[in-house]
């Protein structure tokens, strides 16, 4: 699931600035009481809110969960709801993926030439 921030950057990149703008102000567009219901997976809010047609339930869920149950990532210092405890340190999934990539690189067998 993409974070709101990632989506915002994506929309800016592909030139759909109205979407980026909408996401930027999502906190003003959807009242906190609705946010709470979205967090609780209450899809009836979709009937009560007037939303652009590109706004998906996943997007709303990801927004409602962002920064609420989240923890501050020790590496990138972003607040993320998708975090894990890694060696007793809170890190977000994004950093975890990066860490794993690094570890795989490190774990690569050495070049035979390095042994000589």
**Min dist. Cβ of residue 103 to Zn ion (A):** 16
Interaction site with Zn ion (CB under 5 A): 73, 75-76, 92, 95
Q: Are strands 79-80 and 83-86 parallel, antiparallel or unpaired?
A: unpaired
| Residue 111, CA distances (Å) to 84, 102, 107 in order | 33, 17, 12
In the complex with Zn ion, the residue whose CB is nearer, 38 or 95, is 95
**Min dist. Cβ of residue 8 to Zn ion (A):** 17
In the complex with Zn ion, the residue whose CB is nearer, 11 or 83, is 83
**Min dist. Cβ of residue 80 to Zn ion (A):** 6
Q: Which residues, other chains included, contact 8 with Cβ-Cβ below 8 Å and sequence gap of 6+?
A: 20, 23, 24
In the complex with Zn ion, the residue whose CB is nearer, 7 or 49, is 7
What are the φ/ψ torsions at residue 62 (nearest 5 degrees)?
Answer: -65, -40
């Amino acid at each position: 699931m993409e974070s709101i921030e990632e989506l915002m950057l994506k929309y800016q990149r592909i030139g759909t600035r109205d979407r980026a703008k909408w996401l930027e102000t999502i906190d003003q567009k959807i009242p906190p009481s609705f946010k709470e219901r979205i967090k609780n997976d209450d899809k009836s809010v979709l009937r009560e809110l007037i939303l652009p047609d590109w706004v998906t339930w996943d997007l709303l869920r990801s927004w409602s969960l962002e920064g609420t149950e989240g923890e501050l990532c020790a590496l990138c210092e972003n607040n993320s709801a998708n975090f894990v405890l890694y060696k007793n340190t809170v890190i977000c999934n994004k950093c975890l993926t990066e860490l794993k990539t690094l570890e795989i690189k490190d774990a690569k067998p050495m070049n035979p030439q390095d042994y000589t």
